[in-house]
Amino acid sequence: MTTGTALERYEAVIGIEIHCQLRTASKMFCGCSTDYDGAPPNSHVCPVCLGLPGALPTINRRAVEHVLTTGAAIEATAPPATRWDRKNYFYPDLPKGYQISQYDLPLASRGRLTFDTSDGPFTVTITRAHLEEDTAKLIHDTDAEGRKRSLVDFNRSGAPLMEIVTEPDIRTAEQARRYAEELQLLLRTVGASDADMERGQMRVEANVSLRPRGTDAYGTRIEVKNMNSFRAVERAIDFEIGRQAAALDGGEPIVQETRGWSEERASTYRMRVKETSDDYRYFPEPDLPPLHLDAAWLASIGAALPELPAARRARYRDALGLSAYDALVLVADRHATELFEATRAAAPALDAKPVANWVTGEYLRLRNAAGPDPVTLQPAELAAVIEAVGSGAISRAQGREVLEAHAATGAAAAAIIAERGFQQISDAGELSKVVDEVLAANPAAVADFRAGKAQAVGFLVGQVMKATGGQANAALVKETVGTRLAAGREGEG
């Protein structure tokens, strides 16, 4: 069953839980380093994060500030005081048999996040953002003799983790994906987390239920895990909506459970029956005192917020005249944003639109081509290329070549232009001669145009650009070719 068909009869009710590792130098309740990516297993551990008897935790102030900063960014409320709670459950990746978390007094509550979707702006209410410690990492593999085994790496155990939980406001898989994308961008903007899904720094879980359209009662919710990309978030929720609709249509009861997403099978699968909050037996953490939040501290955190993504997009649209698409692409990439801002600062007279075009087009193209390798463009040199193309001194194709050379060598744009002898041919008389030669050399393409094949014009323009080594003014070439072909057609008549 397709999601579209299911949503004709049922309304999806979706809430999102996101865990993200916070950007701190040490773990949540001990001094162990969080720089454990690629480190040998169990090499970043101590008695506290191993849960050894008698070890006592201490609070990581920076982690608390990251959650309070996030709370300020989502317009949430911080309590005068909060406390820590023990969340009890037994699993091999939890060394103490409980997790230090927060239950009824989170650091941030009742926030919101607004973002754009294909149907327009959409706002999600955020119930809470709270702090807790991460678990260890289980590794399932086989030994040298082919026997299955499970190993535990405690390097991640105790890393500071923020959990952000929404109200069940979301109604489509697209809204869920866009919420996750916007939250990742916000976390990176305020510096709370790198939020890299591929590295497990941001984990998205969805609670999905269906109810017949026109009714208010919630259906039985299913938690979906193991979604390791934004594409997976959308696909998994789409699948789960269709699966639940088919079950309800067939009279099959929906059982509250946790399901995983299989990218290979493009389907969800049962993991376990879902626990409730009662199963965790929350009670106050006896080894940590309540945390009182000073009003001046909270005010300083709010005052230090950078320009947030939604506000930056609005400024780009309203003050700079960029399209909604340009603003979206620029703000979605931190490096693109920085280059755009720095280029405009280096050349204030440049219009924002061509700068945006070169950053979202040529710079991101170079980035994609480079793969994991960094691409460095000096803002002043990018501005010089844009100015040279805009003035007609060089062609767009030559500008791209100059930018590529600058990225590869660091040489100044002016030096590259001089070295390669770049200039744009904009003399109408000179171009007319080349156009006439190309038309004479390609009678078949001319005949195709006269037979009504408009694409022949593109071919002929390309041949002129090739004949001039890419130095011709492309707009003037297209105009001249069109004029010559039209004149030829009238001559025939």
The reported pLDDT for the residue numbered 277 is 62
Q: Which helix (H) or strand (E) holds 162?
A: strand 160-166
The reported pLDDT for the residue numbered 476 is 78
The reported pLDDT for the residue numbered 195 is 95
Residue-wise pLDDT tens digits, 382-439: 999 999 999 888 888 889 999 999 999 999 999 998 888 887 666 677 778 888 888 8
CB atoms within 10 A of CB 53: 6
Q: Kindly tell me if the per-residue pLDDT of 356 is higher than 70.
A: yes
Residue-wise pLDDT tens digits, 298-340: 999 999 999 999 999 999 999 999 999 999 999 999 999 999 9
pTM: 0.84
Beta strands, E only, 390-487: none
Contact by Cβ (8 Å): 205, 16:
yes
Edge-to-edge strand list for the sheet holding 160-166: 108-117, 120-133, 160-166, 10-21, 202-212, 222-227, 257-262, 267-273
The reported pLDDT for the residue numbered 489 is 58
The reported pLDDT for the residue numbered 3 is 74
Q: Per-residue pLDDT averaged across 227-231, rounded?
A: 95
Residue-wise pLDDT tens digits, 14-67: 999 999 999 999 999 999 999 999 999 999 999 999 999 999 999 999 999 999
The reported pLDDT for the residue numbered 394 is 85
DSSP secondary structure code for residue 372 in this structure: T
Distance CA 59, CA 288 (A): 8
- Pull the structure tokens for residue 105: 């007094």
Q: Per-residue pLDDT averaged across 241-248, rounded?
A: 95
The reported pLDDT for the residue numbered 7 is 79
Q: Strand 257-262 relative to strand 222-227: parallel, antiparallel, unpaired?
A: parallel
Residue among 166, 239, 243 at smallest CA distance from 207: 166
Q: How far is CA 486 from CA 228, 446, 463, 491, in A?
A: 56, 11, 18, 9
Residue-averaged pLDDT of the chain = 92
Distance CA 204, CA 14 (A): 13
Q: Which helix (H) or strand (E) holds 99?
A: strand 98-101
The reported pLDDT for the residue numbered 438 is 83
